[in-house]
Structure formats: C-alpha cells, structure tokens
Structure 1
Amino acid sequence: MLAESPTGSPAGEEVAMALTLEDREAIRDLFARQNLAYDRREAERTAAMFTEDGVLELIGPDWAFRHEGREGLETYMRRLFEVTGDDYRHWTNSLAIEAVEGAPDEARVECYIAAWGMSDGVFRLAGRYFDHLRRVDGEWKFAHRRYEGEWMHPDQGAVRDELSE
C-alpha cells in the first residue's frame, strides 16, 4: 500500500503497513486451530492450514526433516500420527507477530512450543517456531514453518528414528 510515511517521505513511496488487530487475532486463531488439529490427529485439516506450496522444517541437534507441498505435509502428518498416537497436547505461547515490509499479505511469527504426554503428564519437547505466513483468499496460512527443537525427552528419540525410516 502506498502512503506518506510518518517521517515525511514523499507520497507514493512504499512503507510497511502495520497488521490490523483483526490480522493479529486471525493469526493467533491459526495457531490455536493448528494445535487442536494436530492434537486431534487430523492430518488433512493440519495440512490445509499451509499454503499449497507450504514448507515444514523440523530441526534438532542431530536430526532434520523437511516436507513440502500440502500433499507431502499431509503424508508426513499421517505417518507422524501413526507413530506418536493420540497422547500429546501442544501449547504455543509468546507469539511475536511482525508485518513484512512491502508485503501486506505476509507476516512473520516467532513463538515457543511445548508438548506434554496426557496419559503420564511427562513433558515431551520444547522449542521455537519461526513462521512465515501468507494471507490466501482472506485466510492466514503457514507458508514456511520451521521448528527448532531446544529440548526433547529421551523417549522421543525412538519417535524420531521411526520417522527417519
């Protein structure tokens, strides 16, 4: 969008537009819906929250996975849900949402992610998400989601190994 900047730059010069409160709330809602779909093991619904060309990267100290495209993401999610069962609950918090300069339909988000096992109450993993979002047909979606694992319970190594096969 073209506007005069608060510093008085010439009219017609492109400046970053702030995200609206509605944008910010829609982005928070995307994160909540993603957690719920993930915990309910809804692979198709989880993948649909990504753009058609969406990317998911999962990075740990000695492992990395990358999945691309909605179909690839859905396939990965189905496999992940087979391996992990339905015992996990995920929480994202401290969402830092930023506009992308010159791209009113894009945003960046950094936040914390943690997961617990519900049957045993064991803390399973902790890390951060670094997300690039894109608004498509009025709806915010993940264009690129990168998880950086900071801690993982020792029993999660078996899950990681099974997903590597």
Structure 2
Amino acid sequence: MTFSAESGSVRELLDKSAITEVIYTVAHAMDARDWDLFATCYAPEAEGDYVNANVAGREAIIAGTKAFLEPLDATQHLVGNLRITVNGDMATTHATFIAQHVRAEATGSGQYILGGTYHDTLRRTDADWKITRRKIRGMWSNGDSSVLTTSVS
C-alpha cells in the first residue's frame, strides 16, 4: 500500500502538523513581542474570548495582547497536551499552557505564573491555517498578581 499527499491519513497528519505550528507560533510571537508574526496566525475576522473580555477582529486581538504583555519585562508561554480535531477545512484544538510573567517594578516578587487552557477554532485558507476563535481560561495561578497591573505604585 502506498500513500500520497492526498490520502486521508497523510493529509490529516500534514494538517495537524501545520495547526500545531500555528499554536506554537502564537506563543513564540507573544514572548518575542513579534506582532507581525502574531498577526499571521489569525484570520481577519478572528474572535477572542478572554474571561474578562470578548474581542472581535485580528487587529483588536493584537492590540489587546500588546497592551497586556508590553508592560512586562518578560513572558514565557509553554504550550502542551495539544489535541487537534480536523474536519475538512475546519479544525478545533485544545491545549494546556503555563505562562510565566515577569515585571521587575511589581510591588511583590515580580513573578506571576498562570496555568490554563486554550480552545481554538481554525480555518484552512489557500496558504495555511488561521485561528478564527480563541478561548482562554485560567485554571490556577501562583505568585505576585501585581505583575499584571497596568500601573505600579
């Protein structure tokens, strides 16, 4: 038996590999503060569900993420346990994350860690896969929550 790039199992593996790359690229782009790279991961009509805010449109997602991360000195987003379901030109993912946030001018230790989940919906485009919806949920946290405040006293 031979497999071609169009056979179902090979196509699914290729799709899952490409989708994995998108999810990991989002994390890398956030930590590198590479907003052009970050933008390549999202469809123009993308939506974000971030517990305390719902955001519509890629530009709004970028602006909100920049506003949240740029005051910090460093972040490190580790993404794992990625589960992908592909259904034609649409896909859903579930992943867990641990995100370290560092801010030297915080009122406490300057380090805050958050663990949670990403639930994404992606759409195949002519060139690649794009996130059309991201839902983020925190499950636990530890450390100095003043790291995340917009102004430090």
TM-score of the aligned structures, taking structure 2 as reference length? 0.78
Gaps of 5+ in 1: 1-16
Does the CA contact (< 8 Å) of 1:58 and 1:149 recur in 2? no
Structure 1 stretches of 4+ with a deviation exceeding 4 A read 117-123
Structure 2 spans left out of the alignment, 5+ residues: 1-7
Which residues of 2 match residues 1-165 of structure 1 at below 5 A? 20-59=12-51, 64-85=52-73, 87-100=74-87, 104-117=88-101, 124-156=113-145, 159=148, 161-162=149-150
Tell whether the 8 Å contact from 1:88 to 1:116 is kept in structure 2 after alignment. Answer: yes
String of CA shifts for 1:121-156, please: whole Å, max 9, x gaps.
Answer: 956100001110111123111100000111123523
Name the CA distance, whole Å, in 2 between partners of 1:110 and 1:32: 13
How far apart in 1 are the matches of 2:54 and 2:94?
Answer: 19
Report the number of matched residues: 138
* Distance of 1:142 and 1:74 partners within structure 2: 13
Structure number with greater Rg is 1
What RMSD in Å do the two structures reach over aligned CA positions?
2.6
CA distance in 2, matches of 1:150, 1:109: 17
Q: Is the 8 A contact 1:93 1:113 kept in 2?
A: yes
Distance 2:144 2:17 in 1: 36
